[in-house]
Amino acid sequence: MVKIKFGTDGWRAIIADEYSVENVRRVTAGAAQWMQQNNMGKVVIGHDCRFGGEMFLKAATEVFASYGIHVYYAIDFVSTPMVSLGVVKLKADLGIVITASHNPPSYNGYKLKSSYGGPSIPADIAAVESLIPDEYIPGNVVPFDELASAGKIENIDLETMYVRHAEEHFDLAAIKNSGMKIGYDAMYGAGQRAMLRLLPDVIHLHCDYNPSFKGQAPEPIGKNLTEFSDMIRSRGDIALGIANDGDADRIGLFDSKGEFVDSHHILLLLLYYLHQVKGMDGEVVVTFSVTDKMKNLAEKYGLKYEVTKIVFKYIAEIMTHRDVLVGGEESGGLAVKGHIPERDGIWMGLVIAEFMAKTGKTLDQLIQEIYNLVGSFYFDRDDLHITEAKKQEIIAVCKNTPYTHFQDLNVESLETLDGFKFILGDSRWVMIRPSGTEPVLRVYAQGKDKADTRSILDKVKQTIL
């Protein structure tokens, strides 16, 4: 018996090891019991492009149905935001996404989505986790095909529902008529068809079904997108490059030179467009690892600003009961007012494309306008694949005898909301934090420019390793 634990964003495990049909049934039994205890009767379930997605979806559907829960399912692959939107549109009580998001292709996972169309709150996740049985004992289980034939489960086109929703909220004509060429890298993920339906003229890459992701973890960060970057550089006519992760809830961005634009800059662009250009108001909520430049811009606009722990579900929970204009995290999960309280990589890409189309400005010009307001900066992150013992040793130092310097870099202060952020002064900082979803130690840094940031990261590694 494997003890199943939900991490920062769902349960994830290696396929055919801990991630098995049996264990998916166990997790689903826990979710179904929790729904029964809370008088809930409808669930939406979908899977992304990973291996065995349909098989795992069918296993989960059979279990939910055996508990008398009405299941809306998408038999073909869909993105996480499509399931979340489906929960809202169908007035369901819970959403399930069979996905491991940006993890390596050997993984699959299981995400819980609440009735408001975003990640379930920690208390609900803990309650479901506590109900997962040590062993799944089949009850009144009817095979999937029989359930479908008898009309006891309902096939829903979540992708078309999402596309129509996006068409209602964006000026797609302005984007299409701008003359701006857009590149798109789906990373073999679940956003591929929807983006091509919304923007048929995009110059696309990796928009076909490949559960192996060609061996690359589908995380939209610069080092994983070199082929896309090279394509943008070699063509010379792409104004904006958009990339999504495996379940299309995260975004990566590129400028016309093929240079990666990180989530900190995207968050600043979103806030600038929505408030200064569109005149929208609301709070700004970001996670602990996001640049302090967001605070500077929010203060310039007179908007309330809050920092949360480094998991998007904390932002989503706030968005359900407060007026949040922009929310987001360093890892590419961003959300805006007017949509569901959910990370959505396609949606954020469309916001930026519309921004450029409406203003007629390049991404570089828009970023420079932001720099004129808050100053320039550069951010980077190292993922250190070290032994568990070494990782714990470093964390122990951070907790008990915090570093006072990294080589010749003196630490001015330390913040510990979620991880260990060492303030170096002059808008420079470095943060050390273990990943909540992968066996790595993350080191984040903000510096004056690319060379300065790289120097900070190198000096930190020399000190802690």
Domains in the chain: ranges and CATH: 11-159 (3.40.120.10), 170-374 (3.40.120.10), 378-464 (3.30.310.50)
> Rg of the chain over CA atoms, in angstroms?
22
Low-confidence residues of the chain: pLDDT under 50: none
C-beta of residue 88 within 8 angstroms of C-beta of residue 117: yes
Query: Which residue shows structure tokens 């904390």?
Result: 314
Nearest Cα to 191, choosing from 208, 172, 171?
208
Q: How many CA atoms lie within 13 A of 197 on its CB side?
A: 15
* Per-residue model confidence (pLDDT) at position 330: 93
Phi, psi of 336 (to 5 degrees): -135, 160
Nearest-5° Cα angle at 301, 299 to 305: 45
pTM, to two decimals: 0.94
DSSP letters along 142-166, please? --HHHHHHTTSEEE--HHHHHHHHH
Rounded to whole angstroms, how far apart are CA atoms 54 and 48? 9
- Chain-centroid distance of CA 168 in Å reads 23
Tokens of 220: 């939209």
Classify the phi-psi angles of 7: left when phi > 0, otherwise alpha if psi is within -120 to 50, otherwise beta.
beta
Nearest-5° Cα angle at 75, 45 to 26: 45
Tokens of 404: 């006072």
Count the Cβ atoms, other than its own, within 10 Å of residue 101. Answer: 28
SS3 label, residue 20: coil
Q: What is the DSSP letter of 78?
A: -
* Per-residue model confidence (pLDDT) at position 1: 76
Rounded to whole angstroms, how far apart are CA atoms 366 and 43? 42
Nearest Cα to 60, choosing from 32, 35, 91?
32
* Per-residue model confidence (pLDDT) at position 9: 84
* Per-residue model confidence (pLDDT) at position 437: 64
Rounded to whole angstroms, how far apart are CA atoms 349 and 351? 5
Nearest Cα to 319, choosing from 330, 332, 331, 334?
334
In the chain, what is the greatest distance between 2 CA atoms, to the nearest angstrom? Answer: 71
